[in-house]
Structure 1
């Protein structure tokens, strides 16, 4: 089964602190550098710097599928310890910037805080299409309000099975 793969990594130690800002939906679109120094893998150019003004512009949070197909999305998110946060959320979003087919979130996960730093992995599967970018959005919350808990590490990966017949 042929696969088209995009693997992105953000490491605060290499790229600096990512400013956490919440969109209207109460989530932050995680940004990923375009530099190979972050251990990214993108031979199909699904995270191409030509897609926007550059890192950390919101467009640097997008994977633009190169093929129609069935995709496995996975993410890894590490937050710094913050006693204010009571829950951590993540979701995968089709067209998170609303520039093609419209915002469509899926695979939302909500997890209670544990002691110390918060380390989470997420997985979801869905059909993807070249005209609809996909992003990883996160939120750290105290009660029902998002707070800017710093990320220390994030990875976002998409593997598209390209020999699937898409309706």
Structure 2
């Protein structure tokens, strides 16, 4: 595990377990709903499909899965960002609207990559939303495969060689 560190705004990034699933679920749902309009276009059917599996129960199971590692970004006692690495795939990396453009996502991504190197991974894969693609490109991720579509959403497979 990586020791807690802070982004310039004083937001510690700490490893989290399944007990953080409710807070992580709230972060993800708020971020998708309010920050990812480029992807869902405020279409209720797309939002419902996207969020259907984003439940505290599923998050707890994903965090507990073999090969998974998760981190939360906190302001006080409130989680404002969450990232989940499942083996070599970054499956979730979200921040609440109030934490955007303040280094929270970057700090979470750095923790994921540091952990990946520590456990011997040579690359990190992910599927980016259209909203997040520029963020990942800025941090060295490149397209790695054809765009995927599902339930009205597009996802660009990306990879960063570590």
Same fold (TM over 0.5): no
Higher share of residues assigned helix: 2
Name which structure has the greater RCO, CA cutoff 8 Å, separation 6+.
1
TM score, norm. by length of structure 2: 0.28
TM score, norm. by length of structure 1: 0.28
Higher share of residues assigned strand: 1
